[in-house]
Structure formats: structure tokens, C-alpha cells
């Protein structure tokens, strides 16, 4: 049996030190099915990857792949190396993640590293944390991708993340985090103030069957939720312009699109937000953290601050604040697990 110790480097009899990155190369070639495809995935030139594979094969004492015009297939030696690599690489990643969490633990939590997607809570949460403990170190990280933020929490690079989840969907389901629902929002429609429905108390989704839509990118289930809601209303949405928030606002202001938005969003001049009749789409504001980390001890406190920050944001949007008074099941929630 080829025994590979859990160590970033090994010294072998043929002179080159084998590293974890070399095992990742072997796995990438096997998964891609060819050196050319693996080079594209790894961002390397094909000749450079070929040369690297040859050095790895010399170190291990034989060819790892049979290569021809159809691609690259592992040899018996290659299968053996792959079997060991597929055990070793996740083990080392787990070791690194656990070490990062332990290295960041100090027994007393006075540091809050918070990741967030676009949402109404972050600014107020930072303000409340620093006001409650002026000595606390608070840092923030922004991403449009919920999975990226969840991975950063798992690896110990963030303590908490604030993200959104569509309807009852599990946030970032591939990551073992604890989640707390802070608020449940209806989804509104953002329109130019010149739009015929701009002064409506609410809009039937079916009334928007002929419009074009603008949306910010992300990796949530929201697109499929929206398409399903449109199907229930009897239509398929027209062209979707995917752009950043500023670009979406420009498209709405010009009259070329409308957009779905969080109800807490305070529109800029010349834009309005209008509720959708029957609330066919809901958006949950959730707080996540790793259940084995030191910050679990302060998760309830952070969640309370987040809920207070959300209430402040909701009150600043007068149209939404009025809507909430007639729909008490929405808005800030009792602090139960997500």
C-alpha cells in the first residue's frame, strides 16, 4: 500500500519533493479527462501542465495516465495515487479549517468578522456592535455569492454571515452552518415613478407579464422561485437583464425594465417600490455561523442586534413600514432557528 502521510511535502527517491498541489493536478486531470481540459480548469498552459505531470510521474516511478486522442485515463498506478489523494486532500483541508478556527479562538469574543450580501442589516449591525463594545474589532466582507460567504465561515475566515434565502429554502445547503432567521420580507417591484402602476397600493404579478426585468447576479434559488411564481400567474418572464445594482437602477430609470427588490430597499429619486398582491415571493434575512466555533457563545446577542438593525431599516422605508402594520407575520421574526 502506498502510504502518504498528512504533510504538505514528501521526499521521494527520485529527487523531487511531492506536494499537495501535485496531487491536486493529478485529480484535476482525472476529473477533466484530458490534460488540455485540466490545463484550462487550472489556468495553466497545456505544455506547462504536461511538463509538470511528467515530473510527477518520474517521482512516483511510472506513468499515471494512458493518453491518446480520446483523452487521459488513469493507469493502475494512477488509480492508486488518485485513491490516496482523494482521501488525503479533504483531510488536509479539514485540518486547515479546524486550525484556522482554533487559531482565531481567544476564549473571549471581542472580534466580529461579518460577511454580507446586499441587504438592510449590515450597517446597523456594525453600529450596534461597536456601540455595545467600543473595544470590539469589527470587520466586514461583501460578496454577491452566498456560498462564498458560507465557505469563508466554515474555513474560519469569517465569524458570521448575513445572507438572503428565497421562501423556505435552506441557506447555502452544502455548508454545515447554524442559521437564524432574522426577518421575512415580501418581495416588492421597483418601477420608475412615471409607470402606470407607480401609485398603486399593490400590483398583480400577471399585470407585469409584458415587461422586461433587471436583476443583480447571485447563486440563490430566487430565479427559479420567480419563474415558478410567474408560471402560477399564467406567463413566462421576458428578457432578464443581469447587472449590478447601479446598472439595474439605470435600466429602471430609463423605463427599459422593472425589478424585484427587497421591501426594505429605499428607492432613489424617480423610482418607487410597490407590493405584489398576495405576496407570491418571500425573502428571508438570515444570520449564519459555524456551530463549533467560539462565536456560538455570542450568536444570540448578534442575532438580537441584527433584528434591531432590521427594524430600523424597515422604519426608514415609510411605504414598507405602513405595509407591515397590516401584515404582522412579516418583518422581524422571533429568534428561532432557520
Domain range annotation of the chain: 9-104, 111-332
Of the two residues 98 and 4, the one the predictor is more confident about is 98
**Beta bridge pairs of residue 275:** 188
Confidence band for 292, pLDDT divided at 50, 70 and 90? confident
Q: Each residue of 264-289: pLDDT tens digit? A: 887 777 888 999 999 999 999 999 99
**Beta bridge pairs of residue 19:** 9
User: What residues contact 14, with CB distance under 8 A and at least 6 apart?
Assistant: 58, 59, 61
Q: Each residue of 28-47: pLDDT tens digit? A: 999 999 999 988 888 778 88
> Cα(10)–Cα(74) distance, rounded to whole angstroms?
22
Q: CB of 10 within 8 A of CB of 59?
A: no
User: What residues contact 215, with CB distance under 8 A and at least 6 apart?
Assistant: 223, 240, 241, 242, 243, 248, 259, 260
Of the two residues 100 and 19, the one the predictor is more confident about is 19
Confidence band for 12, pLDDT divided at 50, 70 and 90? very low
The mean predicted confidence, pLDDT, of the chain is 84
> Cα(150)–Cα(152) distance, rounded to whole angstroms?
5
**CB-based burial, 281-304: b 16+ in 10 Å, e otherwise:** bbbbbbbbbbeebbbeebbeebbe
**Beta bridge pairs of residue 89:** none
- Determine the length of the chain: 338
3-state secondary structure 60-112: HCCCCEEEECCEEEECHHHHHHHHHHHHHHHHHHHHHHHHHHHHHCCCCCCEE
Burial of 90 (0-12, 13-18, 19+ CB in 10 A): exposed
Q: Each residue of 150-190: pLDDT tens digit? A: 999 998 899 999 998 888 888 888 888 999 999 999 999 99
**DSSP 3-state of 155:** coil
What is the H or E stretch that residue 153 is in?
helix 146-154
CATH topology of domain 111-332: D-Maltodextrin-Binding Protein; domain 2 (3.40.190)
At residue 335, the pLDDT reads 65
At residue 14, the pLDDT reads 42
Q: CB of 166 within 8 A of CB of 220?
A: yes
At residue 312, the pLDDT reads 93
With a pLDDT cut of 70, the percent of the chain lying above it is 88
Of the two residues 289 and 2, the one the predictor is more confident about is 289
> Cα(15)–Cα(299) distance, rounded to whole angstroms?
51
Q: Sign of dihedral through CA atoms 244, 250, 251, 252? A: positive
pLDDT of 220 > 50? The answer is yes
Q: How many helices (H) and strands (E) does the chain have?
A: 10, 14
Confidence band for 113, pLDDT divided at 50, 70 and 90? very high
CATH code for 9-104?
Answer: 1.10.10.10
At residue 334, the pLDDT reads 76
Amino acid at each position: 500500500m502506498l502510504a502518504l502521510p498528512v504533510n504538505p511535502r514528501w521526499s521521494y527517491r527520485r529527487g523531487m519533493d511531492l506536494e499537495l498541489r501535485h496531487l491536486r493536478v493529478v485529480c484535476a486531470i482525472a476529473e477533466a479527462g484530458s490534460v488540455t481540459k485540466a490545463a484550462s480548469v487550472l489556468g495553466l498552459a497545456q505544455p506547462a501542465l504536461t511538463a509538470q505531470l511528467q515530473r510527477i510521474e518520474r517521482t512516483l516511478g511510472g506513468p499515471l495516465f494512458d493518453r491518446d486522442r480520446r483523452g487521459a485515463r488513469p493507469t493502475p498506478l494512477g488509480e492508486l495515487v488518485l485513491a490516496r489523494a482523494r482521501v488525503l486532500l479533504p483531510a488536509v483541508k479539514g485540518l486547515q479549517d479546524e486550525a484556522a478556527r482554533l487559531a482565531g479562538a481567544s476564549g473571549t469574543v471581542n472580534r466580529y468578522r461579518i460577511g454580507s450580501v446586499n441587504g438592510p442589516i449590515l450597517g446597523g449591525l456594525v453600529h450596534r456592535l461597536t456601540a455595545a463594545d467600543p473595544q470590539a474589532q469589527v470587520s466586514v466582507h461583501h460578496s454577491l455569492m452566498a456560498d462564498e460567504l458560507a465557505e469563508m465561515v466554515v474555513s474560519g475566515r469569517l465569524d458570521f454571515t448575513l445572507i438572503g434565502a428565497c421562501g423556505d429554502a435552506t441557506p447555502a445547503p452544502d455548508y454545515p452552518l447554524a442559521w437564524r432567521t432574522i426577518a421575512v420580507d415580501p418581495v416588492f417591484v421597483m418601477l420608475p415613478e412615471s409607470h402606470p402602476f407607480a401609485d398603486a397600493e399593490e400590483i398583480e404579478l400577471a399585470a407585469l407579464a409584458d415587461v422586461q426585468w433587471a436583476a443583480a447576479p447571485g447563486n440563490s434559488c430566487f430565479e427559479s422561485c420567480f419563474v415558478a411564481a410567474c408560471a402560477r400567474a399564467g406567463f413566462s418572464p421576458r428578457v432578464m437583464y443581469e447587472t449590478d445594482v447601479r446598472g439595474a437602477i439605470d435600466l429602471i430609470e430609463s423605463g427599459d425594465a422593472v425589478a424585484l427588490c427587497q421591501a426594505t430597499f429605499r428607492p432613489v429619486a424617480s423610482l418607487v417600490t410597490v407590493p405584489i398582491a398576495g405576496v407570491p415571493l418571500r425573502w428571508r434575512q438570515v444570520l449564519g455561523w459555524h456551530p463549533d466555533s467560539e462565536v456560538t457563545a455570542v450568536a444570540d446577542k448578534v442575532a438580537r442586534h441584527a433584528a434591531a438593525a432590521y427594524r430600523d431599516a424597515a422604519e426608514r422605508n415609510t411605504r414598507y413600514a405602513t405595509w407591515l402594520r397590516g401584515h404582522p407575520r412579516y418583518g422581524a421574526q422571533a429568534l428561532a432557528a432557520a
